[in-house]
A and B are shown apart, each in its own frame.
Chain A
Amino acid sequence: MQATLLTFPKGGVHPPESKKLSEHLAIETLPLPDEVDILLQQHFGAPCKPVVDKKAKVTEGDVIGEVAGGLGAAVHASVTGTVKGVGASTNPVSITSASVTIQTDRDAPSRTYPLDDWRNLPVDELKKRVKAAGIVGIGGAGFPTHVKLSPPPEAKVDLLIINGVECEPYLTTDHRVMMEHPAEIIEGAKIILAMLGIKKCHIGIEANKMDAVETVRKVAAGKTSDGFEISVDALEVKYPQGSEKQLIESVTKRRVPGFGLPFDVGVIVQNVGTTKAIYEAVALNKPLYEKVITITGKGIARPANLKVRIGTRLSDIVSYLGGTQPDLSRIVMGGPMMGFPISTLDVPVTKTTSGVLFLTEKEIDRRAHSQCIRCGWCLDACPMGLQPNEIGVYVEAGRAQDTAKFGLFECFECGCCAFVCPAKRPLVQFIRLAKLKAKR
């Protein structure tokens, strides 16, 4: 056992965890939906170019969208069936975006992926498999993983951190994956270590998941023969503990410089879900086309941790779980601190969906905001040491363009400031507006 819980030095908040609704529910597999809408852009970068035509027969795991150039990650069919259309679907953020709709062939056998011994493969082949599998950071950012795993040669990476923090309230996806698939995560970590040519890995888990800490620790300690040093760190429960820069400082005391990347301080961070996907991509040759998501909140009839195919529409998930409650007030994709609200259930699950929250009026806060009373609580809460109060006041005064001096572009919109604000000011909204108008 470790004596003290690790944490980051500045700011942070303690929102109600609300994880009890789903943290003990074992992962269940959603039956195949009749149709899936697979978005061609599920990653940070340019949208994929569709490589299938209408009425084409596809098998699950087939590539349907290829990287057109620049940054990107391939998109695969998540079900076996017929392409119903190549067009546009409802997009959770940009209203509509290019997609491939596939009608499921229910009689098709599900594809199997035989285990391969990755240890005999050269590093280039490992990276090629990650790229071919279309893996992106599924914790939320969606950055193409094969790019992240190829740091420039001048970066001296010596440590891999696996992010199992899951600091967003409500979400229990990573928790369940760690509880039920610890061996795959550890194996995935070893694959990443092999790709990076390093030995040391820390797995960071928030202390509200001590069962996961113990489970993963047991597996990590079980296999020490192959020269890798994998250890598990329990972290203090404090939001945003799982933010990349905060997690790196909690675990290593190293600080990523402004606008820098983790490899600037010799670290690569991967989410536990991504790590498991990397294992499947390399050891099983299985592309990323299904993932575990948490469906929770008091507005859904039955909360669950569901394994779903990418492209599954939320309406199919909701009807499987028995519908919504009458007092449902807001539907959020992602966590309650950083997730975005949606206005229709036609939205499909993407690679970066970590959960969908069905929140009732009691769970959200819709109180009207008032003027800034200058209590300074946002200054204490901000993990980046910024001045959200000033940014908000400037935006209200029509001077959004002058807010860079308050650290605007260092803000990653964790929402701590707006969470603590007693005047209920929409500080993240002010900040997003300012980012559009201010110059770096």
Chain B
Amino acid sequence: MKEAELWSVAVSPHVKSHESVEKIMWTVVACLMPSLILSIFVFGFQTLIITAVSVGSCLATEAISQKCLRQPVTIKDGSAVITGVLLAYVIPPGVPYWMPILGGVVAVFVTKQLMGGIGYNIFNPALIGRAFLVATYPVAMTSAWLPPLREASIFKYMAPGVDAVSTATPLYVLKHYGLDALIEKFGSLSTMYGNFFLGLRPGCIGETSVLLLLLGGLFLIYKGYITWHIPVSVFGSVAFFTWVFGGEGYFAGNPLLAILSGGVPLGAIYMATDYVTSPNQKTGQILFGIGVGALTVLIRLKGGYPEGVAYAILLMNTLTPALDGWFKPKRFAPAKGAVK
């Protein structure tokens, strides 16, 4: 044996799992990609450009702000990419390109890096990006919907002669014209549900196809990256409160429509489950999900906006530290008199 041999030393454990932050983040990105591909078929390449611009803005913002704050640049970990994709997914695809750029700066620099970087943000960065854009450019953010391509002929929702209504989101139509007007656009109720489930309707880039979002979510649950608690409680809560309060009189709402028609699937599976901004114990997660659902329905039914998932999640983000404080892991056997 040579004298000069050096071995590494470190505190145990010496073996670690193969999981890593990068692996988790890039898997989430991969699970979001089918929705993007579908959106290209439905709305055209504009959606791809918007998403690319948004991701680019988030990556550049993270790199520049980390350089300026003299921190290691961590853009490879994929978290800024997720923020970029999610931001693109929650803004109308017809907005000018500078809007996702601005949104990305707010999302990554203000919401994440100024708070201490990954793991220390209070709010979901992409949603703050969206909320900032809605507050500053309300017109574009509520009307820049793209009409589906004419080639997408299966897309029954397309009315001849594009007007504001025909490209508006289903929730907008529902809020301002009622369910009958919405059904009329699709021909029949079952066609409408079918199109909603597959994603053949106007809306934000990534929130339309319930099927693809669900498949991605199931994969994340299978991998153990997220658990069912938050998505299921959000879905359940939205359905329940819509059923109770969403119709003429009580218990007359349409829970299926409420889940299929807006941003609930994207929010429930990919945004409300964000590690940093959601509770980490099961009880806290279920209450968090119920809260998101309840606030979503409240905003949809009583608020000024047709859609409320984004604000519902942001509002519940503020309760996450409290929920984590109330619902801690159950100690195996704390000693009598031990500090709790």
* A residues with CB within 8 A of B: 10, 13, 15-16, 169, 245, 255-260, 315, 318, 323-324, 328-332, 336-343, 345, 357, 359, 363-367, 370-377, 379, 382-387, 389, 404-405, 407, 409-410, 413, 415, 418-424, 426, 428-429, 432, 440
Closest B residue to A332 by CB, please name it: B14
The answer to whether B281 touches A376, judged by C-beta atoms less than 8 angstroms apart, is yes
| A415 in contact with B12 given A260-B333, A379-B280 (CB within 8 Å) | yes
State the Cβ distance, B228 to closest chain A Cβ, in Å.
14
CB-CB under 8 A for A336 and B14, given A341-B9, A384-B332:
yes
**Within the complex, what minimum Cβ distance (angstroms) separates A186 from chain B?**
31
Q: How far is the CB of A269 from chain B (nearest CB, A)?
A: 16
* Cα–Cα, bound, A178→B116 (Å): 53
B162 to chain A, nearest CB (A): 44
Can you list the 8 inter-chain pairs with the closest CB atoms, starting with the nearest?
Answer: A376-B280, A258-B335, A415-B13, A365-B16, A429-B11, A341-B9, A404-B339, A259-B335
A410 touches B275 (CB 8 A): no
Encoded as 1 (CB less than 8 Å from any A CB) or 0, chain B from 97 to 135 comes to: 000000000000000000011111000000000000000
Does B67 sit within 8 A of A, measured CB to CB?
no
Residue numbers in B under 8 Å from A376 (CB-CB):
275, 280-281
Chain B neighbourhood of A379, CB < 8 A = 280-281, 329
Residues of A within 8 A of B9 (CB): 330, 341-343
Residues of A within 8 A of B68 (CB): none
Given A258-B335, A419-B17, A413–B12 Cβ distance below 8 Å? yes
**Residues B316-340 near A (CB distance < 8 A):** 328-336, 338-340
- Interface hits, B3-23 → A, CB 8 Å: 5, 7-17, 19-21, 23
Q: Is B1 located at the chain interface by the 8 A CB criterion?
A: yes
Q: Is the CB of B334 within 8 A of A410?
A: yes
- CB contacts (< 8 Å) of A340 on chain B: these are 12
A-B contact pairs, 26 of them (CB 8 A): A15-B17, A259-B335, A260-B335, A332-B14, A336-B15, A365-B14, A366-B8, A366-B10, A370-B74, A374-B280, A383-B332, A384-B331, A385-B330, A387-B329, A404-B339, A405-B339, A409-B338, A410-B334, A413-B12, A418-B16, A419-B13, A422-B20, A423-B119, A426-B10, A426-B11, A428-B11
Assess A339 versus B14: contact at CB under 8 Å? Given A318-B1, A409-B338. yes
| Cβ B15 vs Cβ A16 within 8 A | yes
Q: Which of B20, B328, B339 contacts A440 (CB 8 A)?
A: B339
Q: Which residues of B contact A10 (CB under 8 A)?
A: 330, 332
What class of interface size applies to chain B in its complex with A?
Answer: 35 or more
Which DSSP category, helix, strand, loop or mixed, fits chain A's interface? loop
B24 part of interface (Cβ distance < 8 Å): yes
A266–B24 alpha-carbon span in the complex (Å): 45
With the chains together, A259 CA to B339 CA distance in Å?
A: 13
Contact: A423 with B21, CB < 8 Å? yes
Main secondary structure of the interface of B (DSSP, over half): loop
**Cβ-defined partner of B13 (8 Å) among A328, A336, A422, A432:** A336
- Contacts beyond the supplied A315-B1, A339-B12, A341-B10: 18 A-B pairs with Cβ under 8 Å: A260-B335, A323-B1, A329-B8, A332-B12, A336-B15, A337-B13, A341-B9, A359-B14, A365-B14, A365-B15, A374-B119, A379-B281, A385-B329, A387-B328, A418-B12, A420-B17, A428-B12, A440-B338
Q: Are B334 and A419 in contact (CB-based, < 8 A)? A: no
A245–B336 CA distance with the chains assembled, in angstroms: 17
Q: Find out whether the CB atom of B17 lies under 8 angstroms from the CB atom of A13.
A: yes
Q: Report A-chain residues with C-beta under 8 Å of the C-beta of B77.
A: 370
Identify B331's interface contact among A332, A343, A363, A386, CB under 8 A: A386
* Other-chain residue from B119, B329, B330 in contact with A371 (beta carbon distance below 8 A): B119
Residues in A with CB closer than 8 Å to B20 are 367, 422-424
CA distance A320 to B77 in the complex (A): 45
* Interface assignment of B276: CB less than 8 Å from any CB of chain A: yes
B335 to A: closest C-beta gap in Å: 3
- Nearest opposing residue in chain A for B13, CB measure: A415
Q: Which residues on the B side are within 8 Å of A258 (C-beta)?
A: 331-336, 338
A337 vs B117: C-alpha distance when bound (angstroms): 30
> A328: shortest Cβ distance to chain B, in Å?
7
Contact bitstring B69-104, A, C-beta under 8 A = 1, else 0: 000001001010000000000000000000000000
Q: Is A255 within 8 A of B11, CB to CB?
A: no
Q: Which of B7, B12, B340 sits near A337, CB closer than 8 Å?
A: B12
A196 to B79, CA, bound (A): 59
Shortest B267–chain A CB gap in Å is 19
Q: Nearest A residue to B280 by beta-carbon distance? A: A376
- Judging by beta carbons under 8 Å apart, are B10 and A422 in contact? no
A245/B332 in contact, CB under 8 A: yes
Q: Which of B17, B23, B119, B335 has the most CB of A within 10 A?
A: B17
A404–B334 Cα gap in the complex (Å)? 11
Whether A382 and B329, one on each chain, are in contact in the complex, defined by CB atoms closer than 8 angstroms, is yes
A410 touches B332 (CB 8 A): yes
Which residues of chain B come closer than 8 Å to A169, judged between CB atoms?
15
- Chain A, residue nearest B79 (CB): A373
Chain A residues with CB under 8 Å of B275's CB are: 373-376
A422 touches B118 (CB 8 A): no
Question: A330, B333: Cβ atoms under 8 Å?
Answer: no
Give the contacting residue for B23; candidates A13, A259, A422; CB below 8 A.
Answer: A422
| A341, B14: Cβ atoms closer than 8 Å | yes
A205 to B328, CA, bound (A): 32
The smallest beta-carbon distance between B103 and chain A, in angstroms, is 22
Contact of B24 among A331, A375, A405 (CB under 8 A): A375
- Is there an interface contact between A373 and B338, defined as CB atoms closer than 8 Å? no
Complex: A201 Cα to B118 Cα, angstroms: 51
Residues on B with beta carbons closer than 8 Å to the beta carbon of A429:
10-11
Which residue of chain A lies nearest to B8 when distances are taken between CB atoms in the complex?
A: A330
Q: Which residues of B contact A332 (CB under 8 A)?
A: 12, 14
Give the distance in Å from the alpha carbon of A260 to the alpha carbon of B20 in the complex.
Answer: 36
Residues of B within 8 A of A345 (CB): 1
Q: Evaluate whether A428 and B333 lie within 8 angstroms (CB atoms) in the complex, with A373-B21, A373-B275 already known.
A: no
Asked if A364 and B331 make an inter-chain contact with CB atoms under 8 angstroms apart, the answer reads no
**Among candidates B1, B17, B276, B330, residue contacting A374 with C-beta atoms closer than 8 Å:** B276
Which residue of the partner chain, among B11, B16, B336, B340, contacts A405 with CB atoms under 8 Å? B340
Contact B7 A329 (CB under 8 A): yes
A205 to B161, CA, bound (A): 75
Do A375 and B280 have beta carbons less than 8 Å apart? yes
Q: Which residues of chain B come closer than 8 Å to A440, judged between CB atoms? A: 338-339
Q: How far is the CB of B302 from chain A (nearest CB, A)?
A: 32
User: Nearest residue in B to A169 (C-beta to C-beta)?
Assistant: B15
Which residue of A has the minimal Cβ distance to B117? A371
Q: Once the chains are docked, how many angstroms separate the CA of A130 from the CA of B339? A: 39
Nearest opposing residue in chain A for B224, CB measure: A377
Which B residues from 217 to 241 make CB contacts under 8 A with A?
none
Contact A424–B335 (Cβ < 8 Å)? no
Contact in complex: B12, A336 (CB < 8 Å)? yes
Least distance between A79 CB and chain B CB atoms (Å): 23
